[in-house]
Amino acid sequence: MRLIGVVVPAETGTAGSAPHASGGGAFDREGETWVARTERLDTPTVGSATLLAPLRRFWADPASAMARPDGRRVEVGGGPAGGGLEVVPPVLPEARVVCVGLNYADHIAEGSFANVEHPPYPTLFARWTRSLTVGGVSAPTNANEGGLDWEGEIAAWVGAPLCEASEDEARAAILGYSTFNDLTSRIAQKLTSQWILGKNGDRSGPIGPLVTADEVGDLRDGLRLQTRVNGEVVQESTTDKQIYEVAATLAHISQTLTLQPGDILCTGTPAGVGYAREPQWLLGDGDVVEVEVERLGVLRTPITGPADR
């Protein structure tokens, strides 16, 4: 199953009707986010989708929401001119977004940590949910940076509470996966030892549709990941090369804090980032970056200038 978030407007017109919806029944509140099922993997997401449940109700019990969907059909995407509902990440405002900083040996070797021994535990940092967006939405550069750097990767969605979990329990709790691009402001990232500022720029976390784990399989089997800038391949790897496996990382995190349904783990990027190249190559206004992951589709992000912030 492929899942997205959609913003459903307040009902208009006659009672029991709503814009862009079919199947009867009125929506509850203006601007309410729902989780919907789509057949599309590649972004931007456009076309027909089926409503499952309001966002908070979905994450209270994902299995029930998927088994007993609302069922109404809506048209999504296409921007204001297209008339479809706005597509957004299906993420709760309070969700934790935990990211693995160094998870491929070739990426470590190309950067400033090349001479540092791999620690026994992953380097983790946080994103705020307000930095997340969806494919097709522009990501602006910052005036004080030379551009944005790409980091194609995979995000794992937690589907059940995890507290002091084992690896097997953590693996069973993964609801699904998405393509993700950890777009980074390198100057801000490297000002101090704490990376959070450089990892939370406006709209710098595009994330693709959530594809349920039954369709994706196990990342240890080696899904192919590729990042392209203006059509040129800049990153290519497979997920079996990750140093810190996703279930082990979730189990590790759960020893300290309880993970809840809707929390996200971004699993790190392979070699090929722009700042480590000679000469350095960063994304600027007019560039298009795509992250493609086997079974997860293509996440496409246009880059714009600082005026677009």
For the stretch 168-180, pLDDT in tens is: 999 999 999 999 9
Q: How many residues does the chain have?
A: 309
- How do residues 263-298 score in pLDDT, each as one tens digit? 999 999 999 999 999 999 999 999 999 999 999 999
Pick from 217, 55, 76: which is nearest to 129 by CA?
A: 55
**What is the model's pTM?**
0.92
Q: Is 248 exposed, middle or buried (0-12, 13-18, 19+ CB in 10 A)?
A: middle
- C-alpha dist (Å) from residue 63 to 57, 77, 178: 11, 26, 18
* CA 9 remoteness from chain centre: 24
Give me the pLDDT at residue 61, please: 98
How many CB atoms lie under 10 A from the CB of residue 204? Answer: 23
- How do residues 216-252 score in pLDDT, each as one tens digit? 999 999 999 999 999 999 999 999 999 999 999 999 9
Give me the pLDDT at residue 117, please: 72
